[in-house]
A and B are shown apart, each in its own frame.
Chain A
Amino acid sequence: MGITDMTAVELAAAIREGKNTAVEATNAILARIEEKDKELNCYVTVDKEGALRQAEQVQEKIEKGELTGPLAGVPLAVKDNLCTQGLLTTCASRILNNFVPTYTAEAVLNLQKAGAVILGKTNMDEFAMGSTTETSAYGVTRNPHNTDHVPGGSSGGSAAAVVAEECFYALGSDTGGSIRQPASYCGVVGMKPTYGTVSRYGLIAYGSSLDQIGPLTKDVRDCAAVLEAIASHDAKDSTSLVREDTDFTSALVEDVKGMRIGIPRDYLGEGLDEEVKAAVLQASRVLEEKGAVVEQFDLSLVEYAIPAYYTIAAAEASSNLERFDGIKYGYRTKEYEGLHNMYKKSRSEGFGEEVKRRIMLGSFVLSSGYYDAYYLKALRVKALIKKAFDEAFARYDMILGPVAPTTAPRLGESLADPIKMYLGDIYTIAVNLAGLPGISVPCGTDSKGLPIGMQLIGDCFQEKKLLRAAYTYERAGKAGNNHE
């Protein structure tokens, strides 16, 4: 077993035990990036020198006994919409092609305190708007399983980097499935925590009421360890929650006996690829064998989640992205006549097509005369969707379903028809509207060898249940391998 195929927790243990060092691990990963990233393009920025410098410092602290955590010394990749002090942060947009933040996102700071080594910034859909990592201004990221396919998105660079062993784990952000879906396409574990669990300070906002930062990891144990490290109440984020149950690694128990799991019938209906459906149902049977009680049920309002989501997300995005104006930071057009022309040219040249599409839509639904009919209506539907989940969780400990209707599409296939692309988010989006935690766990591959993910959705604050079920499933799969 080479050093790069260790999990994060395994590597940290090896470093603690003196079998490896953080510097060794960093060098090995940097070599791997050197080898693979020209083709895959997981990274927008690789900070070679910085990573080695951090590795040395962290190693010293580990040796002195100052750092003892389960992630100390482990190199990671950070999605490029998380601000990192002194390190280029682009959101995969031309408009931030030269932005070097003077502060670091709280979630990243938490990892640094735990002894993390930041390798660089991963590619993504521009401003996290997309499901394929093809809208990046810095080129597409390719799926390591098959480079003709997309890695998913928007945290595609993070997911691909984890599976390609170009990092030990990565941070992503999830506004409508942007962690879970690429995790599914790339065959890694990805989790979106309950809204408010991880501080959003330093996360460049897309849809503020929907955005959450979360881990992309090689297995469930790593996922729990990373989530435990990044979850914190932050006085700088008014929407951050005070939680006392963030000892997520304590949930790594192989036991789902008596757990009630519901599968929404609507999640298995039209549009779902047969191979994906088979893999997900097979996974549910594994959990059943382990003692869970699985049944299908009707979760209402499934088809309303996407229109509600795109209204709310676009509205918030149109406002959140107003600050990119070519005055304080980022791209400014070269020639202009007067202020408003400068704004328009800078923004039109700086933003990509999909971003402009959503800004236009968002500005429209908030504009005078349409606010009630579109925006407020969407917020009302959101309330109904939340209620539908509340009812489901009164009966079930968690909901099980696919992450996405298909496996990773071929490059270039999705962007042609935006609405079709948006439909691909059908199983992930409602989770963000209702602020719920959701995890994507690999559950097989299709006939082309592309990974399939199963999604577990919990009630608010029930990450531990999800981790327990995911961990139980993962162990069962490793033992019997009966789901491939």
Chain B
Amino acid sequence: MANIISDETIEYVGILAKLELSGQEKEQAKKDMGRMLDYIDKLGELDTTGVEPMSHVFPVQNVFREDVVTNGDTREQLLSNAPEEKDGMFMVPRTF
């Protein structure tokens, strides 16, 4: 296995992705990610110099909306799925 994923990397990716893995999960994740990256490294066999990265398959461009208001007050609907709400707002742990 060429790609060795360190504890620090798993820790770091966990911070980025907001995932907290148990000790066992972490070991598994290190293995899985290493193997996947080995597999992805296969792409390195291809010479892609001068090839533009392709995000969109079709050259669709300039899709715009006009600046016209379309919303109504749908707060009740919005909050209908909220785990916790108060005063018409979403409640979250204190941020400051």
Contacts and interface: CB of A to CB of B under 8 A. Distances in A.
Q: Direct contact between A and B in the complex (CB less than 8 angstroms)?
A: yes
A288 interface: no
B48 A364 contact: no
A360 B19 contact: yes
Nearest to B54: A383
A239 B60 contact: yes
Interface in B34-63: 35-37, 39-46, 48, 51-58, 60, 63
B40 A348 contact: no
A417 to B, nearest CB: 9
Contact of A102 (B20, B56, B80): B80
B82 interface: yes
Contacts of B2: none
Interface residues of B, number: 51
Nearest to A332: B83
Interface in A300-343: 301, 303-304, 306-308, 310-311, 318, 322, 325-332, 336, 338-340, 342-343
A364 B54 CA distance: 20
Interface in A274-308: 301, 303-304, 306-308
Interface residues of A, number: 68
Contact of A381 (B10, B13, B14, B43): B43
A327 B57 contact: no
B36 A361 contact: yes
A364 B20 contact: no
Interface string B64-93: 010000000010011011111000001011
A326 B83 contact: yes
A414 to B, nearest CB: 15
A365 B41 CA distance: 11
Contacts of A377: 43-44, 48
A351 B17 CA distance: 12
Contacts of B19: 344, 347-348, 351, 356, 359-360
Interface string A383-412: 110100000000000000000000000000
Contacts of B46: 301, 304, 380-381, 384
Contact of B35 (A336, A362, A376, A419): A419
B56 A239 contact: yes
Contacts of B7: none
**Secondary structure of the A side of the interface?**
helix
Contacts of A381: 43, 46, 48
Interface string A450-474: 0000000000100000000000000
A157 interface: no
A344 B39 CA distance: 28
Q: Which residue of A98, A235, A356 has the most chain B CB atoms within 10 A of its CB atom?
A: A356
A344 B33 contact: no
B13 A386 contact: no
Given A329-B82, A339-B92, A345-B20, A241 B57 contact: no
A146 interface: no
A378 interface: yes
B46 to A, nearest CB: 6
12 contacts: A102-B81, A196-B60, A304-B42, A304-B43, A304-B46, A306-B39, A330-B83, A338-B94, A347-B17, A347-B20, A360-B10, A360-B17
Interface of A: 98-100, 102, 195-196, 209, 235, 238-239, 241, 301, 303-304, 306-308, 310-311, 318, 322, 325-332, 336, 338-340, 342-345, 347-348, 351, 353, 356-357, 359-365, 367, 374, 376-384, 386, 418-419, 422, 434-435, 460
Interface of B: 9-10, 12-14, 16-21, 25, 29, 32-33, 35-37, 39-46, 48, 51-58, 60, 63, 65, 74, 77-78, 80-84, 90, 92-95
